[in-house]
Amino acid sequence: SYELTQPSSVSVSPGQTATITCSGDALPRQYVYWYQQKPGQAPILVMSKDRERPSGIPERFSGSASGTSVTLTISSVQTEDEGDYYCQSGDGRGPSPVVFGGGTQLTVL
């Protein structure tokens, strides 16, 4: 089955830049969406179609895509950005239009 690969954890200090990658063979043809999930809360959409920021999401969140990888970048990381981040995409006209990455735990030291 199709997989989206994310690093299991990323650690940064406040004010630094955090980058979280999502890799998958179909990503040159499929959009990626990113969710932030804090403990005990439902996920919220923080990036759409690789690089579109939904309304209400701070400008320090940005996205980019290159080949089979898509990157979520959080500039000037704040302590409130700590949580788990999941990418979502599709397997490219295969059997599953919705696949989630394994998640990345962002720790703000």
Q: Which chain residues interact with other proteins by CB under 8 A?
A: 1, 30-31, 33, 35, 41-45, 48, 54, 86, 88-90, 93, 95-103
What is the DSSP annotation of the chain? Answer: ----B--SEEEE-TTS-EEEEEE-TTTTTS--EEEEE-TTS--EEEEBTTTBPPTTS-TTEEEEEETTEEEEEESS--GGG-EEEEEEE--SSSS-S-EE---EEEEE-
Q: 81 or 90, CB closer to other proteins?
A: 90
In the complex with other proteins, the residue whose CB is nearer, 14 or 28, is 28
Question: CB of 105: closest distance to other proteins in angstroms?
Answer: 11
Q: Which is nearer to other proteins, 28 or 97 (CB)?
A: 97
Please report how close the Cβ of residue 15 comes to other proteins at its closest, in angstroms: 29
Closest approach of other proteins to the CB of residue 13, in Å: 26
